[in-house]
Amino acid sequence: MRPVAVIGAGMTKFGRSEWPLLKLMNVASLAALNDANLGDVKVDGVVVANMGAARLNKQTAIASALVDRLNLFPAMAESVENGPASGASAFKVGYQAIASGMADVVLVTGVEMMRAVNNLEVTDFVASLSHPEAEYIYGVTLPGLAGMFARLYMERYGVTREHLAMVAIKNHANAMKNPYAHIHQTVTMEGILTAPEAVVNNPPIAEPLHMFDCCPVSDGAAAVVLATQEIAEKLGRQVVRVAGIGQATDTHAVHERPDPTELTAVRLAAQRAFSMASLTPQDIDVAELHDAFTILEIAESEEVGFFKKGEGHKALAEGVTSLGGKLPINPSGGLKAKGHPVGATGVAQLVELTWQLRGEAGERQVENAKNAFACNFGGFGNNVVATVLTREG
Amino acid sequence: MRPVAVIGAGMTKFGRSEWPLLKLMNVASLAALNDANLGDVKVDGVVVANMGAARLNKQTAIASALVDRLNLFPAMAESVENGPASGASAFKVGYQAIASGMADVVLVTGVEMMRAVNNLEVTDFVASLSHPEAEYIYGVTLPGLAGMFARLYMERYGVTREHLAMVAIKNHANAMKNPYAHIHQTVTMEGILTAPEAVVNNPPIAEPLHMFDCCPVSDGAAAVVLATQEIAEKLGRQVVRVAGIGQATDTHAVHERPDPTELTAVRLAAQRAFSMASLTPQDIDVAELHDAFTILEIAESEEVGFFKKGEGHKALAEGVTSLGGKLPINPSGGLKAKGHPVGATGVAQLVELTWQLRGEAGERQVENAKNAFACNFGGFGNNVVATVLTREG
């Protein structure tokens, strides 16, 4: 396989977009292209990550539309959908286009405009990834699945609501240092858990998960430019190499898993990514995990191999995963506070890690980060993509 | 690049499906997998081609669902969308997964269940690929664009409504020999054009195009299994090699093209596919072209290089493109009569060509076909994928 590098990264501020869908994509794409500073090197492929524009925004074939807006003719283009893991799936498809030799430079842009519809429809839309005959028709939603998962996890491993709140507090604090984050609001244990008014300010969504355990509904776009390592070096860029990509699937219905607290696809995807990169979890300096719900950051931090099963919440409580800790997790603010425009999320994780590896993450910079890891979690863990990026030199 | 072969092909009958979406996908996939006869060789990737399940069927992440139904864990999986060219785009993504070395065996399944909604919504859904600010909001639909294109083409090149009808008559005749075709109805020049009752039986849709110039609204699924040529040979299969894939984009809005009768993306995609295959249009023995409207078969047959510009309708009238002619086009019945479940179409074209190259096309077999060509046309020609398949030995 030809080595592939990330040579450009950019994103819009996540939140509520005043722009139409195509402008969101355009702004993030131009930021990444400007960053890549291609000169006369041409983009020959475009991959868009998007989950629901056909339904939410009544637009299809938006990859072709993006080529048109950016005047990248006659670049190849298509969209990739893999639920909330669409972003990393599209990144993988862009990687393969280059690794296979069919393209030299590929733009990967993730986008979602979810606030175009109301919250009830958003919840129904996201639930459309659940099993149509075994989950969806019984009213199962993603918060519902996460609530049941959290309950079992807490009982088995001694995780408490305080631990869940620590994830929110940490990630909100990180997001304060990220100008692209959806939510800029410092939260405290008192404010969301122990004060009497926390009952009102942090209402239950799907017990034991409360509002501050759930990511917001966001609009946003994020983009990276991929190229052969040869082109990256020719352009004189700091090379951020795509060292490993791993993907794995699991049962569609969560209740069919022998042990629903085991996220097998997370474990396998991470193993595959580390194996391809010839690295171990202990080599990672910074990670973005898919904390659509606070419990998921804890569970994923164990399944990918950073901590032993049942130990993730202890590492969290000890500050290991905070900025300044041994392995900062979600320095961007994560889905929890940076936001979760589903198609954009997996790409945005890799935008943050590119910035971290290049030393461009400002106030939230993880010092001297060389190896970075992302986990993009599709379905309720039925399709997971893990990515390892490495700074060369 | 590692050589890649098609080692399995299958599809459902196109038409109105009594099955839910996932069963449609499942049936076509199992047909292709049975055909591939993999034994203990594992499928390590699944690519689904689909344009509108999020909107039409309220289902997302259907690639993961397909892995679940087929028990292919932990295979990688995602969906690819590129409007009506989703099928060939997904085929390309599957090809790249193998060519890049990330997978050895990939299932590519195209599906669309369009009759879940009424015809007005289908037309609106398909129009969601048009330019949102320059076309869609003015009520432009795909039949509308095709009607304007046909009018200009007829004026410039002397194409008549009789020529358009000849495409329909030929493709309906071919579909009579295809058990998988949506429409089994012989049509005649008298019945759809010259008889007095043709005015009623073949009403105008978007002048000069009438009902029998337009493809039907179909449900259906089609699937192929791709593998390294090494695996194909080990399994002892007749090798149908993926010799070339070319893709090109053009302006989103049709009126922005210097000459709207020029389908630049069709020309470029074909050139790229032929170049990769080291073949010329004159080497092709059988072709499937994207005849969503009769005029498109004529125009594409010229742009891809089979006939000079303005000569396609003459070749058609002389029988060159009929079964038994020098270059049979759309032996399957084409979109016109086989049907056009948008996400499935590009894959179904390659299913037909695989059967043709293996000599398994029954009554519609093109004798001793060695090189085959498909054109899958996305948008109104703003994203086109061309594929060349070659029988080895």
Q: How confident is the model at residue A16 (pLDDT cuts 50, 70, 90)?
A: very high
Q: Distances from the Cα of B121 to the Cαs of A150, B125, B227, in angstroms?
A: 41, 6, 38
Q: Quote the CA–CA distance of B393 and B391 in Å, as a whole number.
A: 6
Q: B1 is written with which tokens?
A: 């690049």
Residue A65 sits at φ, ψ, to 5 deg, of -60, -40
Judge contact between A25 and A62, C-beta under 8 A: yes
CB contact under 8 Å between A102 and B99, yes or no, is yes
Q: Quote the CA–CA distance of B102 and A99 in Å, as a whole number.
A: 9
Distance from CA of A169 to the nearest CA of B (A): 31
Q: Which residues is A84 bridged to in the sheet?
A: A82
Give pLDDT, residue A128. Answer: 97
CB contact under 8 Å between A252 and B65, yes or no, is yes
Show which of residues 301-330 on chain A sit within 8 Å of chain B, judged by CB atoms: none
How far the first Cα of chain A sits from its last, in Å, is 21
Q: How confident is the model at residue B393 (pLDDT cuts 50, 70, 90)?
A: confident
- Would the pLDDT of A237 be above 90? no
CB contact under 8 Å between B54 and A59, yes or no, is no
Q: Strands B45-49 and A45-49, how do they pair? A: unpaired
- Predicted confidence (pLDDT) per residue in B241-253, tens digit: 999 999 999 999 9
CB contact under 8 Å between A54 and B55, yes or no, is yes
Q: A224 is written with which tokens?
A: 């990276």
The pLDDT of B335-344, averaged and rounded, is: 98
Cis peptide before A203 (omega within 30 of 0): no
Question: Count of CB atoms within 10 A of residue B228's CB?
Answer: 19
A288 touches chain B (CB under 8 A): no
Q: How confident is the model at residue B238 (pLDDT cuts 50, 70, 90)?
A: confident
CB contact under 8 Å between A51 and B51, yes or no, is no
CATH superfamily of this structure's domain B4-118+217-234? Thiolase/Chalcone synthase (3.40.47.10)
The pLDDT of A237-247, averaged and rounded, is: 95
- Predicted confidence (pLDDT) per residue in B100-126, tens digit: 999 999 999 999 999 999 989 999 999
Length of chain A: 393
- Predicted confidence (pLDDT) per residue in B134-146, tens digit: 999 999 999 999 9
Show which of residues 71-90 on chain A sit within 8 Å of chain B, judged by CB atoms: 72-83, 86, 89
- Nearest residue, CB atoms, A383 vs list B22, B61, B268: B61
Distance from CA of A388 to the nearest CA of B (A): 15
Show which of residues 123-142 on chain B sit within 8 Å of chain A, judged by CB atoms: 124-125, 128-129, 131-132
> Tell me, what DSSP letter sits at residue A190?
I
Give pLDDT, residue A305. Answer: 98
Helix (H) or strand (E) holding B390: strand B383-391
Q: Quote the CA–CA distance of B52 and B43 in Å, as a whole number.
A: 26
Chain mean pLDDT for chain A: 97
Q: Would the pTM count as exceeding 0.95?
A: yes
Buried b (16+ CB within 10 A) or exposed e, B180-197: bbbbeeebeeebbbeeee
A63 touches chain B (CB under 8 A): yes
Q: B39: exposed, middle or buried (C-beta count within 10 Å: 0-12, 13-18, 19+)? A: exposed
Distance from CA of B213 to the nearest CA of A (A): 24
Q: A349 is written with which tokens?
A: 């994780």
Q: How confident is the model at residue B381 (pLDDT cuts 50, 70, 90)?
A: very high
- Would the pLDDT of A176 be above 80? yes
CB contact under 8 Å between A68 and B100, yes or no, is no
Residues of B in contact with A250 (CB under 8 A): 73-74
Residues of A in contact with B380 (CB under 8 A): none
Helix (H) or strand (E) holding A371: strand A371-378
A254 touches chain B (CB under 8 A): no
The pLDDT of A344-366, averaged and rounded, is: 98
Judge contact between B38 and B386, C-beta under 8 A: no
Which amino acid, residue B199? V
The pLDDT of A100-126, averaged and rounded, is: 96
B6 touches chain A (CB under 8 A): no
CA A236, A238, A244, A245 torsion: positive or negative? Answer: negative
CB contact under 8 Å between B100 and A72, yes or no, is no
- Predicted confidence (pLDDT) per residue in A269-279, tens digit: 999 999 999 99
Give pLDDT, residue B1. Answer: 77
A346 touches chain B (CB under 8 A): no
A28 touches chain B (CB under 8 A): no
Mutate to test the interface with A, among B26, B64, B256 (most CBs of A within 10 A): B64
Candidates B253, B80, B73, B149; CA nearest to A50 is B80
Q: A118 is written with which tokens?
A: 């109301």
* Domain residue spans of chain A: 4-118+217-234
Q: Cα B103–B107–B110 angle (5° rounding)? A: 135
Distance from CA of A270 to the nearest CA of B (A): 13
Chain mean pLDDT for chain B: 97
CB contact under 8 Å between B68 and A125, yes or no, is no
Q: Quote the CA–CA distance of A110 and A53 in Å, as a whole number.
A: 11
- Predicted confidence (pLDDT) per residue in B288-323, tens digit: 999 999 999 999 999 999 999 999 999 999 999 999
By C-alpha distance, the chain A residue nearest B257 is: A68
